Amino acid sequence: MTRTLKIERWIRFSARVLAVSIALAGLIDPAITSTRRSNAIVAVVAIDPLRDSASATRVAASLATRMRVVPARFPRADASVIVGDGVPLDQEGIVSPTFAVAPDTVAPSVRIVALDAPNDASLHASIPVGADVRVRRAAGRSLTVALRVRGVLVDTVSLAVRSTDTLFHVTLHASPTERGIVQLRVSAALDDRALSAAPANAGTASAQALAPRTGLRADADAALFVRDEPWPVLVYDPRPSWMSTFVRRALEQDARFTVTSRVVTSRDISIATGAAPARLDLASTLDAFAAIVVGAPELLTTRDVAGLEAFLRRRGGSVILLLDQRASGPVAQLMGVPVLNGRALGAPMRVGPGGSDTWLRASELAWPQSLPAEATALATVRASEPDSARRTDDRALVGRVVIWRTAVGAGQLVVSGALDAWRFRDVESSTFDRYWQALVASAASSAPPPLIVSIAATVLRPEETTEVLVSERSRVLQDGATGAQARSSLAAATIESDTGAISHRDAVRLWPDGAPGTYRATIRAPAAIGPARVVVHLDDLVGNVSFVVSPTAERVTPERADLQRAWITAHKGSIVTESQLETLADKLLQRVQVAPRRERWYPMRSPWWLIPLVAALSAEWWLRRRRGLA
Amino acid sequence: VTEPAFEECRAFFTRASRRLTVLAVARGVAAGLAVGAILLIILLPALPWRDSNALALVTAVIAIAIGATVALVRGASVRVQPARTIERLAPQCRNVLVTAEELMRSSLHPWHSEHATPSMVTSERRSPVAERASAYIEALVLGHAAHLCARLDLGELLPARRTALALGASVMLFAISSSRRTSPSLHVADALALAIPATIARVDDVTATIASPAYAALPTQSLQNPNRIDALQGSRITLRIHSNADSVAIQTLQGTRTLTPSARNEFSVSVPADLDGFVGIQPLATGRSADVRRLIALTVIPDAAPAVRISVPARDVHLKDTHATLTVAVEATDDIALASMTLRYTKVSGSGERFSFADGEVPLVVTRASARTWSARAVWSLEALALAPGDMVVYRAIASDRRPGAAPRESDSFIADIAAPGSEAIAGFSIDPDQERYAVSQQMVVLKTERLIAKRAQMLPDSALLASQELAAEQRKVRAEFVFMMGGEVADAPDPSASMTDLNEEAEAEGEADIAAGRMANQGRIALMKAIRFMSRAATLLTTAELSAALTSEKAAVVQLEQAFSRQRIILRALSEREQLDLARRLSGTLTDAHSERREPTVATESAMILGLRRALADVAAIARSHASPQRASTECTTLAESILRLDPSRRPVQAAAARMSDAAIAFAEEHDLLARAALDRTATMLSSLLRDQLPLSTEGDGAATASRALDAHRLSGAIGDALNRAAPSASSASSASSKPRE
């Protein structure tokens, strides 16, 4: 009996001690530090919290059983998983390796990922507008891409979709009808009805309501400034040249050019049209021209060549040298081609750019022994119809560069070695006029104006902000020797909108932007809908750029899949879709190297301690009650 | 219960019940068919498979089934208790039949058991009538009932005539309504249109009948409501217009004329197909509004000239003798029909300055594969032409088509010549080069004379005389060239053995009076004759070594030759105004007078087509953006359609754009806004495509890059190029790099 009491007392004491010990340990909350290999820590980040949070929760739940998941950016994580389509703008706190969980694309979709439209164009030309359209999950359907100018459909292209993921490059054409800024809208639709749902006044709120964003249709807007001002072009011939004469006549027929010419017919005697400068060695007289076409360039003097080089480097203009015999003399230095090969062919051969519908024909050719550095081939000798009947040495010329372009400073120098192309200018044998019109137009358009004003987006929503960049040509192109003098100009811009009765004007300060002569400003679009422009005043220079304010402006949706793929690959990860989520944990564990780490842990923070605590207290109380002590 | 009376009553009630059932079913079927017919009338035009006969059949079956079922269900009680119906129709029965029927039912007679439902039987068993009725009364009632049944005629009580009529009418109505050709619904609008006076003057139908010219013998073509008419030139287009307008204005490029109706709502007009253009049909009405103008593009297809060619031998032939036979094959085609084909020749005989020409025709054997394609063959013996060596025959085929007044078309001419003795080259030898040598020019004679005058002082007299006589010979040679050019009118020397350069000066001098008198009033001819005369004088003077005088005559001859072959006579007619030679400076003036010149720059002007297309496209955009009333938009579209068509009436894309614009006008007039805007879109797309074909393609810079970025890119490219070019000379001299483009 005594022995039983002793045992019972000992048990009661032990239970009491155990309970008190647990309570004390809980109060003390001791921390224990140890080195051990624990579960990997993975940070799960939603790229767009509003859109991707649900997916992120599903991803976290699928990983939680095999690793520790932190549902936020965590620099100490072993890996990161981004959820969504694209790349996070802020990449701080996202550690490598990084995996991505992309949403499944199950429904057909179409997106305009890029739009290539010029900011300004001539009224007298047809304007190509390129669009890259990504179509997914729509094999067997047809894609219709349409271009609207001021709400009127002007061009459509229909294409058959043959694979599940296709990127189409479509070129549409617009023909402007009046000068000023016009809004272009490119629409791509997998369903003709979706496209036809856009009424003529597309771009308005009602139009948007009629054409809901179902994924079967995508729109992108651009603005185009149509100008009627021709490019000033100077044609200068040190002696009469058939080649130059007929190129000049081709340009004179094109309303995009104002041609000024001077043909030196004898010593101190010349025929000039307009205000043609007497010489080429005075750079200031050449500044008014965007391009200079030179015939018989072998007769240019050293001073003429120096003037042309100054025009190229300081004006940023374009010079086109039309050889009609193998050039020598000072101009060879400007061309950067010490040796020109030449040959008279047995029969004229076709000369032109590959894949183009414009070409020349020539029977006397000159080509450089080696192309100048950074030169671009504009026309090569093409294999043409009766090549089998040609002389062997003529056939060997196929592929030779006959017309090339090279950069000289900020300007462009074009050299033509199609010596007698003028002889084959009949429309039946070549596109002589169209070729030279296009080439000179391209050269003249690249010549910058005195004040270059550009805007990041040409179609803005009301009160949307964008950036304006201003470059002062003379300061940007000044070289170190001549432009040493610093100048502190005060640049300012005004934003003007004129939509009928409402006229609005805001002043904006332009701030220097690193390089000399460049300024930058952030502008806010007017609230008034319609055309607007930024007018920049810099000393006595005035420049402007136009844009359109539209409440329904649509932008391209950049191609994010490729960017994401590249970014994830660079971060040693891979992409899985939501339907492949069960494979993500395995891929993570294969990639993640979890190193043993020293960890501090708190054993008393486990709720399981409540069980022995309650059990000990209950046993102790029960034993005392049994003995009548409680 | 007496069995005969009971049986008689039972038979009567059975017959009555059966007749009631048949009549009810017939009425139900009639009603069902009537409802079905009404549904077809309403719904048939809207049904996509309305042309199918199965639809009518299925509808009929369903209508009959539903009608019969409803009739049977509704008439069930009537059929079970026919006595009540008969009592209602024959009041003189005084409920005897009803009582008899109840008594018969209460007796659980087999007749009743056949027709009564179990519930009825149960209820009737407890009927107080049955319980109270004694056998006597039952027999009495049944007896009276049997007596009545014998007197009653069910045909009179329950007539079937109306039911049969209703059924027949329903069947007919259904048959009519189910036929798509005679469905009244499809003609309701027409009936309304006839019944209600139209408020808008419109052109309903246009029938164009194209009668080709008689010579073409093409079948008459008829077009219904055409947008475009293609007609052979010279055709007659008759337009029959069905319109409710008071009058119709017909607009063409030649003007507008107003038509009055030739019959009720019928107008007729004849339009000649002589020029590309259009026909606008504008309905006119006083006191009413008019519909949009209908525009029909008119393309006139000209009758092409026949194409004829000599397929054999298709080359010049040289014959060795005059007995040769030439085989000639000729082919000719025409777009309509050929009328004739001949082979004509010109015999050229003679030599020197005496040529004679004789025309003739070679008989052909013509094979007519079709009216459009002919071929012919001739085996032509040249012996009959009596050709001499050196003669030639120039032959060509001539074909004409059936178009009245059309000029015949000739093929290329070929030559068959008879070789002259010695003129044929022997293998390995060439023809005498003197025949190919060009004569010495008069200018050269002047030059040689001047040189001879300069050297005369150092020469012996005999040598100078000899040289002068040689010059005289050359002068005569030059003169002979021009004499030959004049056609040999200047008589040759009488001595046949003399050289051809020895001309009869006297005969020439005799004709000088005619020339001087202006009887041969041709400035070129006069100048040339004077030149020849001066050459003759020069030759005479050179023969006697009078060099200075001869030089004067020679120069005078040069002046006359310049007058004969220059000015507006020959050269300047081939030159445009811009490239006209400045005669005042030709071979004249002094170098010191040369000076620089400044001209006005050329201003490029765009073609009327580009301007018109651009204006039309802008107008389409303006209409699309405007919020004008549909009528006004319709009018603007009609006007614009005409403007578009005027740009180039014969061009198909222009015609198509004008047609779409007309569609937009019609859609606006009918207030179909979406259709109108779709038509505007199509028009704008077509116009833009046309405009794009006329304009150069813009190649202006990189559209994606801003100007600033492009400038930076150019600078960077230039800097890299400069750096590489500075390093390049040594490298390029060491290696002969290819100029092939870098891909």
Beta strands in A486-574 (DSSP E): 491-499, 502-509, 511-512, 518-524, 530-538, 541-549
Percentages helix, strand, coil for chain B (3-state, rounded to 5) are: 50, 20, 30
Residue B742 sits at the chain A interface (C-beta within 8 Å): yes
In A453-512, the residues whose Cβ lies within 8 Å of chain B are 453-456, 469-471, 473, 476-477
What's chain B's average pLDDT?
76
Helix (H) or strand (E) holding B350: strand B338-351
Chain A contact for B543 (CB, 8 A cutoff):
no
Residues 111-130 of A with CB under 8 A from B: 114, 116-122, 124-130
Interface-testing mutation among B611, B681, B694, with chain A (most A C-beta atoms within 10 A)? B681
Tell me how many degrees the CA angle A410-A411-A413 measures, rounded to the nearest 5. Answer: 140
Checking A489-492 for CB contacts under 8 A at 24+ apart, the result is A489/A538, A489/A539, A491/A519, A491/A536, A491/A537, A491/A538, A492/A536, A492/A537
Ranges in chain A, pLDDT < 70? 1, 191-215, 339, 384-393, 479-491, 498-504, 630
Cβ–Cβ of A153/B615 closer than 8 Å? Answer: no
Using 50, 70 and 90 to split pLDDT, how confident is the model at B685? very high
If you average pLDDT over residues B699-723, what whole number do you get? 67
Q: How far apart, in whole angstroms, are the C-alpha atoms of residue B683 and residue B661?
A: 6
Tokens of A491: 């640049």
**Over residues B312-322, mean pLDDT:** 81
Tokens of B562: 């310049």
Residue with tokens 């990860």: A573
> Residue holding tokens 């004409």?
B400
Instruction: Name the residue with higher pLDDT: B592 or A66.
Output: A66
Is B718 in Cβ contact with A407 (below 8 Å)?
yes
The pLDDT, as a whole number, for residue B51 is: 54
A348 touching B, CB under 8 A? no
Kindly report the nearest CA distance between residue A79 and chain B, in angstroms: 38
Q: What is the pTM of this model?
A: 0.59
> In chain B, what percentage of residues exceed pLDDT 90?
10
Contact B742 A371 (CB under 8 A): yes
Q: Is B497 on the interface with A (CB under 8 A)?
A: no
CB pairs under 8 A between A and B: 239
A409/B722 Cβ within 8 A: yes
> Which helix (H) or strand (E) covers residue A51, if one does?
helix A49-63
Name every chain A residue with its beta carbon within 8 A of the beta carbon of B703: 116-119, 129-130
At residue A222, the 3 state secondary structure works out as: strand
Measured between CA atoms, how close is B379 to chain A, in angstroms? 38
Identify the pLDDT of residue B491: 43
What pLDDT does A24 receive?
93
Contact partners, residue B434, CB within 8 Å, separation at least 6:
none
Element (H, E) at B268: strand B266-273
Touching check for A368 and chain B: CB below 8 Å? yes
Q: Rounded to a whole number, what is the distance in Å from the CA of B325 to chain A's nearest CA? A: 38
Q: For B212-239, how does the pLDDT look when each residue is reduced to its tens digit (9 = 90+)? A: 888 888 888 888 888 888 888 889 999 9
DSSP B226: -
Residue B170: CB atoms within 10 Å: 24
How far is it, in rounded angstroms, from Cα A171 to Cα A246? 32
Beta bridge partners of A232: A258
Residue B735: band (very low, low, confident or very high) from pLDDT cuts 50, 70, 90: very low
- Does B625 reach chain A within 8 Å, measured CB to CB? yes
Token digits of residue A235: 């044609």
pLDDT of residue A100: 92
- How many Cβ atoms sit within 10 Å of the Cβ of residue B114? 9
Q: Which of B691, B697, B736 sits opposite A369 (nearest CB)?
A: B736
Q: Convert the pLDDT of each residue in A385-394 to its tens digit.
A: 555 555 666 7
Give the model's confidence band at B566: pLDDT under 50 very low, under 70 low, under 90 confident, else very high. Answer: very low
CA-to-CA distance for A609 and A618, rounded, in angstroms? 14
Closest Cβ opposite residue A259 in set B601, B624, B732: B601
Interface of A with B in 47-76 (CB under 8 A): none
Q: At what angle do helices A610-626 and A2-28 cross, to 10 degrees?
A: 150
**Whose structure tokens read 């919020």?**
B627
Q: Is A256 left (phi over 0), alpha (psi -120 to 50) or beta?
A: alpha
Inter-chain touch B684–A270, beta carbons under 8 Å:
no
Estimate the share of chain A in helix, then strand, then coil, as percent rounded to the nearest 5: 25, 40, 35
pLDDT tens digit string along A116-157? Answer: 888 888 899 999 999 999 888 888 888 999 999 888 899 999
pLDDT of B590 above 80: no
- Under the banding of pLDDT at 50, 70 and 90, the label for residue B209 is very high
Does A198 contact chain B (CB < 8 Å)? no
Question: Exposed (0-12), middle (13-18) or buried (19+): which is A513, by Cβ within 10 Å?
Answer: middle
- A513-565 pLDDT, tens digit per residue, is 877 788 888 888 888 888 888 888 887 888 888 888 888 888 887 777 778 88
Query: Cβ B688–A406 below 8 Å, yes or no?
Result: no
Q: Is the pLDDT of residue B572 over 50?
A: no
Per-residue tokens: A326: 């193998």
Would an 8 Å CB–CB cutoff place B734 in contact with chain A? Answer: no
pLDDT number for residue A53:
85
Interchain CB contact of B128 with A (< 8 Å): no
Query: Of B617, B678, B718, which has the smallest distance from its Cβ to A410's Cβ?
Result: B718
Rounded Cα gap, residues B482 and B532, in angstroms: 7
Higher pLDDT among residues B474 and A248, named by residue: A248
Check residue B738 and give its pLDDT: 42
Structure tokens at B299: 């393309």
Determine the Cα angle at A517 with ends A513 and A522, to 5°.
Answer: 40
Q: What is the DSSP letter of B283?
A: E
**Chain A residue with the nearest C-alpha to that of B592:** A269
B737 reaches A (C-beta below 8 A): yes
Query: Which of residues A107 and B408 earns the better pLDDT score?
Result: B408
Question: How many angstroms away from the CA of B735 is the closest CA of chain A?
Answer: 9
**B502 pLDDT more than 60:** no
Q: Give the confidence band of B123 by pLDDT, cuts at 50, 70, 90.
A: very low
- Cβ of residue A150 closer than 8 Å to a chain B Cβ: yes
**Over the stretch A44-65, which tens digit does the pLDDT of each residue have?**
998 877 778 888 999 999 998 8
Tokens in use for A252?
Answer: 């004179």
Q: How far apart are CA B271 and CA A92, in angstroms?
A: 82
How much of chain B exceeds pLDDT 70, in percent? 75
Q: pLDDT of B128-154, one tens digit each?
A: 555 555 677 788 888 888 888 888 888
